[in-house]
Structure 1
Amino acid sequence: MDKFTNSAWFMRIVAFALAALLFISINFEMESDKKSLGLSTAPEISTETIENVPVEVYYDRENLVVSGVPETVDVTLKGAKSLLINAKNQRGFKVYVDLSDPEISMGNRTVTFKITDLNDKLVATIDPEYAEVNVQERVTKEFSVDAEYNTSLLEDGYTAGQPTVSPKTVKITGAKDAIEQISYVKANLEISKGLNETVNGKATVKALDRDLNKLDVTIEPASVAVSLEVSIPSKTVSIVPKQTGKAKDGVRIKSISVDPKEVTLFGSETNLEKISELKLPVNISKIDGDTELELDLTKPGSVQKLSLGKAKVTIRTEKVDVDQKDADPVDEEVVQEPAQDQEEETEDKPVEEDEPTAIESKTFNNVKIEPVGLQDGLNAELESDVTSITLRGKADDLKDITKDDINLTVDLSNLDEGTHDVELAVNAPAGMDWELGTKTVTVTIIAKGEET
């Protein structure tokens, strides 16, 4: 045994075994250290898709226009995961289309996307792979700008003039084919509903073809200043006082005057043409003597607004005997009753100086009955809007009286919806007795929009 252990071969075998154990131990520790540090001899391969990568186009921008190139593409990268993460976060690469060749021809062509500044150890796939583009000569031309707006947004009764534009012309640059398709250059002024005043604003300019399709061109300037003058037609008419009601016993209305005498109406020209005066109802039934009143002016339904809301009314009166009947002048064709022939009765009788003047009568048929004082939002329907009236008075006074000197009204100021019997008020020339064909009229009051 001692001989064996002391031999040279024994020592060699032991030394080899120790060397082998040491080698295995050292390599095992190195592998462990690599794994703990994240190192690997075989890197992990994966893929990553980066969406919406901008596309750059290289071409002669001074003389050419290129269309059809998408603004972005999707890029899928394949390689070591650490490299993918860095590429995704840094985005140091570029996707481009190269049309910079000076010999490039006009028209349609198919071009492929290229990528640059990407790590050589990464493989890129671009979606889409290619694009159909159109190359055209670049043209710049000057066009006049027409402003437009939605007229239906104006408030009722208001009108607008022709909108003005500044500047009046713009320069449009684009492909020759696109420039040749331009039929309209419009600047649309945005306004809100119910516009009733002049407006100044900015409007974006658009180039349109004959079918009003927007064209892909560059416009300089891109927007213009637009001014739209908005106004409302007006008409000045007289304020005409119209007495309503019946004067108290012993009181005669000598005159009714109004201040101011005129008012300006605002509305559509069509409606204003139909109005010649503004009537102001004046109820005299409570007047005891000379009186001044401030009365509201009633805006006609067809009018947008009035220049003033009130007017001062001055009423002058006089005291008369209770037995004396009178009426005051107001307003409309006439059928006159023939006067009795007095000559035959007085032929053989001497005429006394103080003999009273003969009393005659005159009948007016189909005199219009006018409703007054109707509240806003209501309509009135009269069962009959005409009647007859007979005047009696001195022949000299009667002969000059016409239907225009008589006014019949019904006062609806205190009436609500429903059917009412309303007494007629008579305005006739002073000194006349009168008798109506009917003293009352049936009136039905309903809300606007409920007419049958």
Structure 2
Amino acid sequence: MDRLFSKGWFIKLASIVIAIMLFLMVNMDTQPQQAGAGLPIPGVTDGERVLEEVPLNVYYDDEQYVLTDAPETVQVVLRGPNSALTLGQATQGQQEIYIDLENEEAGTHYERIQHRGFPPDLRVSIVPLTVQVSLQERQTASYPVDIQILNEEELAEGYTIGEPEASPGTIDVTAASGMLEQVAQVRAAVDVSGRSESFTDTASVVLYDESGNELGINTDPPAVDVTVPITSPNKSVPLRLSRNGELADGLAIDSVSLDPEEVTIYGPVDVLNDISVIDLDELDLEELEGDTTLTVPVPVPDGVERVEPGEVTVEIDTTAEQEREFSSFSIDVESLPDDWTFHFPGNEDGTFTLRALGSTEQLDRISRDDLEASVDVDGLEEGTHMVPLAIGGPQNVRFPQNGSDVEITIEDESSSEAANDASEETTTSEEADEPQENANNEAADENDEFNAQESEEEETTTDENEPDEPADDNSTINEDEE
């Protein structure tokens, strides 16, 4: 044998034979097997391929039923000629593993898995070969959408969230009857962190069961538009309408009404705290000729975001003007320094007759306590001055004496007292000197009286010492005769 291998012609012949055998083996794999043509060579002509997680398609009437229980994938084992395996791999997109339930009704079914699209030379083995599938009747139910607010605690101080609204407010869920029974809540969540005003956002709709577990059921529509009203800090404040000018003669305002009387202002808390009333533009009375209805805009105070409503209706009812008098009405004096006094020259009691003009209804309602009359003497020096009279009362009443001049005299009582004290001291001094003079005079008088008495005593003594003169007889006779 060794001698043959040493021969060149033998080596060439052996090479030719081996080449022919290899050629025949390859061509036998690609030619159909014919009866009696011989058996394939094991391990050389056949092969095997295992396909994992091959999708399982289930065909059924999806307009009436819902597939609720079926395996999603299966294992497929392919055996056959290598050429067929190669061809099967090239045509994999045409292959399918499926179950046909087109003619089946609702319920649980045990079905054999079928296949198609594989090369005919391949043997297809499916694991598992038979599976359990369930069909349930398809139903549609409508559910309201609940809005879940996320991060509400991150809103700025004073901001509040109103009632959110979803559009549409309800969604449709089409599923098996058993699945619909599990739906406990339909929810759409929106995040309000960083928000300071109302907004609209799109939120996905998610279904949950009673335990809060998410259900993998599609909804129609799958998302809704959620509008979240965010209200800044606010408060209600009254409106105030001031008047300017005078009504035409003989005309009086019977009533002025605002609709509404209060408005709501929105803005930062520190700004709102400083606002207690909003003043409307002044009402020009000179333009009124009778009953009038006006639409007046509401001004927005500084720092306020907005005012609601932005305008109000003003209704003015007028009537014929009447007059009422309040006699002996006192005048208050304002800004009078302490220890100063006043009086009204030519007006001993300091009162006057106050005249009020208005509608009969307005005049009947007012009393003295509703009125006040005053003059302001702030900064005035001592003396007599003419100062304007200020009369206050209800808005719809006119006072023709308002602003008229009043004569008043003011005095510093402390300076007057000092002058009086000085005068009293002078008087007291004079009175103190007068008793001394009287004492001196009395002393002088006493001396004169004493001297006079001494003189009389001296004269008496002299008379007693001299001799008595004789009596005149004639005179005595005459006296006797008489």
Question: TM over 0.5: same fold?
Answer: no
Q: Looking at CA atoms only, which structure, 1 or 2, has the larger radius of gyration?
A: 2
Q: Which has the higher contact order (CA 8 A, sep 6+)?
A: 1
Structure having the higher helix fraction is: 2
TM-score norm. by structure 1 comes to: 0.44
TM-score norm. by structure 2 comes to: 0.41
